[in-house]
Amino acid sequence: MILFKDYTGNAMLNNALQTIEALAGQGISNIDADTLLKLFNNPYRDGLHTLTGLNKRLKSYTMFFSKNGPLFNDKEFGEAIYKHLITSILSNVENEGPYTCELSGLRFKTTFEVFYEQTLRKVGYPAIKINGKDKTVNRCWFPLLGGLGSDAQALPQAKFALTVHPVCLAILQFLPLSAVLYKSNLLLVDASNEDLSKRLIADHVSLIKSKATAGAATSSVENIKDYTKGHYLLRALNILASKERDDTITAFNLWCFTNSGTGASCEIDRIPSQLINDLRSLYKNPSLRPTVEGILKNSKIQSDFLDNLEGHLDFYGLYPNKNSDGVSIHFYEAYQRLIGNGERLGYAKYVAHLLSKEEWNKNQHKFLSKTDAPTSDYALYKSMVYKALVGAASRKEWHWAHHVSILNSPDKIPIDSTISRMYRMVHFYYSALSAEDDVVMPAIPDVSNQLIGQAVNVFFQVMGEDKRNYSSRWLGSRYQEVNPLPLLVREGSRFYDLDVVYALLFDLENRQIAYGLRDILRVYLNYHHNSSLPQLDVQPTNLLPIPDSEQMAYLNKLRDFANEYVAYYRDGRNKGKLDEAKFRQHVLLPMRQDNFQISQWLNNVTENMAGEINKLSGQSFASALSSEELLYDYTGRYNPAFARFALEYLLNQFYHQLTLTLTTVYYGNA
């Protein structure tokens, strides 16, 4: 009678069935009860071994079934009980009855307990002890199963024993014939690709057979324990590579468990299809295969390699160090493409080329020759890379669009110009490239429809409008000390609302963050240093962030005050007329001076506004806002510098829009 046409949903039972397939040399759909009985009596089909004898010798047996079963726990009757019980089950296989196996779905009427009791009587076990003998299905017969009766692993609330067809318990007895260790425990292979798991288990059957048949017929057989995840993955890759067609489903799980003692446990390492497919893409290439094999056989780095590849992260083992020359450029680039860094490779190679072109002193050359230069002195490496890029920009060999394309966080506003994620890649190429290697400048990308592109183009447009050659300050070595706010007040207020400039330069704590902008502006200005700056149109800002509700409420307070002040200046001090030149001379220019005190100015202005009567309304010009509400920002921090910038920007915006309206501050983009 054929028992199974297909595998079950139980990994342990499937492994046992695939072990039997390897022993029988035929598929599961051809294996009947008679075949199982023959294999029980002659598993290697050599007439020299029985499953009973092998299981007594194999160290893995007690890890599967503990030492509490009859084979190891009863010197007088144990072997006879074991042999007669399994033989009886395999000789009387049923497929009809009131019970349904919860593991296989097979139906039956004779339970394991009945077979066990019949066996005890037939082998002459003392009748007085039979009733007290634990005959339940427990972990002595099914690993990790908590049964009723004397099994200490049964949960206190357990009320029912698992219903298992006796033949399944007999089939599980073949598991030790394919048992190898993984992480010091037994390995089970659970694969959605059945052909892959069958071939892996067939390999293990051959390994166990070679060890079991090599020694004396009664000698113990030690566990095969020298293999790691890398070994099993290599074998899986070899199997998949030998197939004519690529399998789309390749995921499998490595179960490691023990059923012995009080420390019975189970752990699962999942190997997803994506990881297998990534490894296959490397393994299938003959020039890359030796490197894959070397890494997966290296127990010190294989786990980190697999974790990083699965997480699509960079891997330290690719890079040269004092103990290794690192991997080849070919392997490095293949790996980086797999983890999504393909677009950065061309940039990294080119930046390394620019780094090698720069003129460095002896100490700098020595520093760059270190394999760990980017990490040994991050600040120095960063400064040298930036110097090389600025120098290249001045030669038209590096464009600002290149620069923003390699930022760590291109979507971060205010702009963060950090490119440290490139340093490892850059230094790999710096160490690996030779003078003969052909390196070309990447094509200049169009970033105008990206957030970072819109952000920097706003500043470039404002810079192009500067009539004072303010840009010259950004070309020197102290460029990071230059404050962009005066330029934005003077020129940016002609074109952009305060909200735009605010979002680009101030963080969530209302602090000015301009270092990223300065880095990119310096590259831009060096690129154009031998020509006049491009005159750009007013730039779109639709992708730029919008201040949140708290920020907007604070900005609106400043707007309200600016409007109140303009009304007071025009209607109170100048009788409804506003002289553009006087407004600039008496209001705007004093605010630009370094010694301008915004808090004192606000106190004086609010006092004067309160003392002036609007002749049209008959009411005071007193502001609805106190100076404290303006000087303390929305975070509750005393921030006179920001209040000064915002009011100066709004009043300059009003000044630039005098030809449009004299009563309100202009809010929209030009």
Asked if 97 and 238 sit in the same domain, the reply is: yes
Q: What confidence tier does 615 reach under pLDDT thresholds 50, 70, 90?
A: low
Asked if 381 and 516 sit in the same domain, the reply is: yes
CA 219 to chain centre: 49
Q: What is the pLDDT of residue 260?
A: 67
3-state secondary structure 333-392: HHHHHHCCCHHHHHHHHHHHHHHHHCCCCHHHHHHHCCCCHHHHCHHHHHHHHHHHHHHH
Sole residue written with tokens 């009809």: 96
| Mean pLDDT within 501-510 | 91
Which of 578 and 654 is assigned the larger pLDDT?
A: 654
Strands of the sheet with 265-271, listed across from one edge: 181-182, 185-191, 252-258, 265-271
Last residue of a domain, one of 339, 366, 393: 339
**Rounded Cα gap, residues 74 and 59, in angstroms:** 17
Q: Classify residue 396: in a domain, yes or no.
A: yes
Q: What is the pLDDT of residue 1?
A: 80
pTM of this structure:
0.81
Q: Classify residue 237: in a domain, yes or no.
A: yes
Asked if 322 and 370 sit in the same domain, the reply is: no
Cross-strand pairs, 189: 254
Asked if 72 and 171 sit in the same domain, the reply is: yes
Q: How many domains does the structure of the chain reveal?
A: 4
Which of 260 and 225 is assigned the larger pLDDT?
A: 225
Quick count: other Cβ atoms within 10 Å of Cβ 137?
23
Give the pair of three-digit tokens for residue 277. Answer: 């497919």
Distances (CA, A) of 506 to 53, 195, 478, 485, 636: 78, 59, 22, 11, 16
Q: Classify residue 546: in a domain, yes or no.
A: no
Last residue of a domain, one of 486, 506, 528: 528
Supply φ then ψ for residue 146, to 5 degrees.
-90, 110
Q: What is the pLDDT of residue 148?
A: 46
Q: What is the pLDDT of residue 215?
A: 78
Asked if 52 and 162 sit in the same domain, the reply is: yes
| Mean pLDDT within 292-307 | 95
573 DSSP assignment: I
Q: Classify residue 398: in a domain, yes or no.
A: yes
Q: Classify residue 124: in a domain, yes or no.
A: yes
Last residue of a domain, one of 339, 362, 394: 339
**Rounded Cα gap, residues 526 and 544, in angstroms:** 26
- SS3 breakdown of the chain: % helix, strand, coil, rounded to 5? 50, 5, 45
Asked if 405 and 316 sit in the same domain, the reply is: no
- Residue 197's nearest CA partner among 252, 278, 275 is 252
| Mean pLDDT within 280-293 | 96
**Rounded Cα gap, residues 21 and 49, in angstroms:** 18
Supply φ then ψ for residue 104, to 5 degrees.
-115, -20
Contact 230, 297 (CB under 8 A): yes
Quick count: other Cβ atoms within 10 Å of Cβ 629?
16
- Residues in the chain, overall count: 670
Q: Classify residue 356: in a domain, yes or no.
A: yes
- Residue 129's nearest CA partner among 145, 112, 117, 113 is 117
Q: What confidence tier does 582 reach under pLDDT thresholds 50, 70, 90?
A: confident
Asked if 68 and 114 sit in the same domain, the reply is: yes
Asked if 278 and 306 sit in the same domain, the reply is: yes
Asked if 349 and 404 sit in the same domain, the reply is: yes
**Rounded Cα gap, residues 649 and 494, in angstroms:** 9
Name the helix (H) or strand (E) containing 485.
helix 485-490
pLDDT above 50: residue 150 = no
Q: Classify residue 99: in a domain, yes or no.
A: yes
**Rounded Cα gap, residues 610 and 612, in angstroms:** 6
Give the pair of three-digit tokens for residue 485. Answer: 């706010």
Q: What is the pLDDT of residue 262?
A: 60
Name the helix (H) or strand (E) containing 186.
strand 185-191
Asked if 314 and 397 sit in the same domain, the reply is: no
Asked if 562 and 651 sit in the same domain, the reply is: yes
Q: What is the pLDDT of residue 191?
A: 87
Asked if 97 and 166 sit in the same domain, the reply is: yes
Domain of 422 in residue numbering reads as: 341-528
Q: Classify residue 618: in a domain, yes or no.
A: yes
Which residues does 214 contact at the CB level (< 8 Å), separation at least 6? none
